[in-house]
Amino acid sequence: MNVVVIITIVCVLLMILASYFAIKTEDLVSAVIASSVVSLMASVLFLILHAPDVAMTEAAIGAGLSTVVFLIAIRKTERFEKDEEQ
Amino acid sequence: MKKPGLKKRLRVKNIFVFLIVLYFGFQMFSVISFLDLNNVKGVAKYYLENDIKDTQSANVVTSIVVNYRGFDTLGEVTVLFLAATGLGAILSGHRKVKKQKILANTMLQYGSKPLLAIVILFGAYIFIHGHLSPGGGFQGGTVIATGFLMMLLALEGYEIKHGYVKWTESLAGLTFVTVGLIGLVLLGSFLANFLPLGKVGDLFSAGVIPIIYVAVGFKVGSELTGLLDNMMGVIE
Amino acid sequence: MKALIMNTHYIVFAGILMLMVIGLFGALTKRNLIKILIALGILDTGINLFFIAIGYVTGKTAPIFSKQGLSSGNMVDPVPQALVLTAIVIGVAVLALGLSIVIRVYEHYGTLNVSKIKKMRG
C-alpha cells in the first residue's frame, strides 16, 4: 500500500468525523473548531489532488479567517444552542 | 443531577430529510460515471499547450485567472467589494471598543510589531511571484489581512487608520481597470497583454500579469482588513 | 497497483459526497442561526473539493512549469482550479456578511432560534 493512499483515506475519514461532530454538538465554539479541522483536512486533500494554489488559499482562508469571523459573531451572541421543545 | 424533561427526541421529520438528502448524494455519485477521468480535453487542453506561447508565465492557473479569464476576476473583485461594503453598512452605528479585561502576554505585545513587518513582506512575496510559483493575489492578500488581525488581537487599543485602507483599496481597483482600458486602447480588447513578454522564469516576464496580480493582492488584503476591523469594532 | 489508485479516486469521491450530505442536512434541519451558517460553510468546502476532484487525472502532476523541460501532456486539468480559487474567497466574504446580519438579528429579537423568531415577527 502506498503512503499517499493511506494519508488520503485517513484525511477523508477525519473530515467526515469532524463534520458530523460539528453538526451534532451543542457548544458553538466546539462546532467552529471542528469546522476548521474540516478545512485543514480539505487543504491536505487539495495538495494530494495536485492543486497547490487552491491548497494555499484554503489553508489561509478556511483555517484562519473563517474561524475568526465565526468566533467574533459568537462572542456577541450566545455560546450554547438551546434546543427547546415547544 | 440530570434535569428532567431535557431529552433529545429523534424527530421523524429529520429522518425523512436525511433520506432525501442521501438520495441526492447517490444521484450525484452516478454523475461521475459520465465523466472522462483519464485525459484532459477541450478548452483545458488548449490552455495547457499554448500557455508558454501566449504568455510566458510558468504558472498555468495564474495565466488562466488573469489573462484568459481576466474579466471573471474583475467580477469576483466586485463581489468582494460589495460584500465588504454591505458589512460596513449593516454594522454601522454605535461603535465603541471596550477595554480588554485580560491583557495579552508581554512577549506578544512587544514581538508583534516586528512580526507585522515580516508578515507583510511574506504576503508581498507571495503575490509578486504569482506567475512563477504557486501563489497569487488572493493568497498574498489573505496573509496580509492575517497579519493585521494579529495586531488587533495582541495590542490593546490598536486602531487601523481608515484613510489608508480606503485609499489603498480604491487605488488598487483603479489600477486594475486602468490596465484593462490601456489594453483596450492599444490592442483592441479589454485586458489584453500589451507589455513585452520576456522569458519564462524571469521576474519581469509575462507582460501585464504581475501588475494585475499585485493590484488584486493589495485590494483583497485591504478589503479583508477592513472587514475584520468592522466586525471587531462593535464589541460591547 | 493501478486498480488500487483508481479505487482511491472513488473513495475520495464518496467521502466528498458524504461531506456535502452532512452539510446540507445540517442546513435544512438545525434551528440555531449560527449552526445553520456553519453547516453552509461545510457544504461550501465540500462543493469546492468536488470540483477539484473532477479535474484530477490519474498519474499526472500539478499544472506549473517549474522546470525547463516539463511537457504539458503530463498535467491535471487547470480550469477547475482557477474557478475554485475565486469561489473560496467569495465564500468567506458572503459568510461574513451573513454573520453581520445574524448579529443585528440577535440585537433586535434577543434570541437566535428560528422558530421563536418566526413567532415573534417584529
By the CB < 8 Å criterion, does A16 face chain B?
no
Sign of the dihedral through C-alpha B138, B139, B142, B143 = negative
Interface test with C, best of B48, B71, B231, B234 (most C CBs within 10 A): B48
Locate A2 and state its grid cell.
502506498
Name the least confident of B93-97, C15-19, C33-37. B93-97
Residue of C64, C75, C83, C92 to mutate, testing the B interface (most B Cβ within 10 Å of its Cβ): C64
- Contact: C34, A74; criterion CB under 8 Å: yes
Question: Quick one: what percent of chain A has pLDDT higher than 70?
Answer: 94
Q: Does position B95 have pLDDT exceeding 70, yes or no?
A: no
Distance between CA C72 and CA B45 in Å, rounded? 9
- Which pLDDT score, from 0 to 100, does residue B191 have? 75
pLDDT tens-digit series, residues B134-173: 888 899 999 999 999 998 888 877 888 888 898 999 999 9
**DSSP labels for A33-77?**
HHHHHHHHHHHHHHHHTT-HHHHHHHHHIIIIIHHHHHHHHHHHS
Chain B residues inside the 8 Å CB shell of A72: 231-232
Q: Do C106 and A77 touch (CB under 8 A)?
A: yes
Task: Name every residue whose Cβ is closer than 8 Å to that of residue B132 and which is 6 or more positions away in sequence.
Answer: B57, B58, B59, B201, B203
Q: Does domain C2-60+75-120 have CATH number 1.10.287.3510?
A: yes
Among chain A residues, CA nearest to C13: A12
- Which residues of A fall within a CB distance of 8 Å from C100? 73
Would you state the cell numbers that stand for residue B197, as one nine-digit string? 513578454
Residue C74 grid coordinates: 503530463
Q: Given this model, what pLDDT does residue C95 score?
A: 94
Whether residues C86 and B72 touch (CB distance < 8 A) is answered with yes
Q: Which of A9, A53, A77 sits opposite C102 (nearest CB)?
A: A77
More confident residue, C64 or A43: A43
Taking the Cβ of residue C94 and every Cβ of chain A, the question of whether any pair is shorter than 8 Å is answered with: no
What is the model's pTM?
0.90
Q: What is the mean pLDDT of residues B191-215?
A: 79
C-alpha B48/C-alpha B60 separation (Å) is 7
Q: CA–CA separation, C76 vs C97, rounded Å?
A: 34
Dihedral angle over CA of C18, C20, C23, C29, nearest 10 = -80
pLDDT-above-90 percentage for chain B: 26
Task: With CB atoms and an 8 Å threshold, state whether A60 touches B231.
Answer: no
CA distance C68 to chain A (A): 19
In the predicted model, is pLDDT for residue B5 greater than 50?
Answer: no
Q: Give me the interface pTM, i.e. the ipTM.
A: 0.92
For residues C17 and C53, the answer to whether their CB atoms sit within 8 Å is no
Q: Please say whether the beta carbons of A77 and C104 come within 8 A.
A: no
Place of cell 496580509: B144
Residues of C in contact with A12 (CB under 8 A): 11-12, 15-16
Q: Is it the case that residue B188 has pLDDT exceeding 90?
A: no
Task: Kindly state the percentage of chain B with pLDDT values over 70.
Answer: 91
pLDDT confidence tier of residue C33, bands split at 50, 70 and 90: very high
Determine the pLDDT at residue C122.
Answer: 64
Q: Does B230 have pLDDT greater than 60?
A: yes
**pLDDT(A86) > 50:** no
Instruction: List pLDDT tens digits, range C58-112.
Output: 878 888 887 777 777 788 888 999 999 999 999 999 999 999 999 999 988 888 8
Judged by a CB distance cut-off of 8 A, whether residue C82 touches chain B is yes
pLDDT bin (cut points 50, 70, 90) of residue B98 is low
Asked if C1 reaches chain B (Cβ–Cβ under 8 Å), the answer is no
- The pLDDT-based confidence of B6 (bands split at 50, 70, 90) is very low
Interface list for C 16-55 with A (CB within 8 A): 16, 18-19, 22-23, 25-26, 30-32, 34-35, 37-39, 41-42, 45, 48-49, 52-53, 55
Task: Residue A69: list chain B partners with CB under 8 A.
Answer: 228, 231
Query: From the candidates A8, A23, A86, which should be mutated to test the interface with C, based on the most C CB atoms within 10 A?
Result: A23
Nearest chain C CA: its distance from B57 CA (Å): 8
For testing contact with chain A, the best of B80, B142, B213, B224 (most A CBs within 10 A): B142
Provide the pLDDT for residue B159. 82
Q: Is the Cβ–Cβ distance between B58 and B201 less than 8 Å?
A: yes
Instruction: State mean pLDDT over C34-61.
Output: 91
Q: CB of C101 within 8 Å of any CB in chain B?
A: yes
Choose the closest CB to B29 out of C14, C73, C97: C14
Name the pLDDT band for B9 (thresholds 50, 70, 90).
Answer: low
Q: Give residue C2's pLDDT.
A: 56
pLDDT of C5 reads: 54
Q: Which phi and psi (to 5°) does residue C75 adopt?
A: -120, 155
Nearest to A65 among B59, B145, B235 (CB): B145
- Mean pLDDT within B21-40: 81
Give the span between the Cα atoms of C94 and B109, in whole angstroms.
Answer: 32
The region of weakest confidence among A42-46, B5-9, C43-47, C103-107 is: B5-9
C-alpha cell at B24: 441526492
pLDDT at residue number A59? 93
> What pLDDT, on a 0 to 100 scale, did the predictor assign at position A10?
93
Q: Which chain C residues touch B60 with a CB distance below 8 Å?
A: 63-65, 75, 78
Is residue A82 scored above 50 in pLDDT? yes
Query: What number of residues does chain C have?
Result: 122
Q: Is residue C6 very low, low, confident or very high in pLDDT (cuts 50, 70, 90)?
A: low
Using the predicted structure, report yes or no on whether residue B224 has a pLDDT greater than 80.
Answer: yes
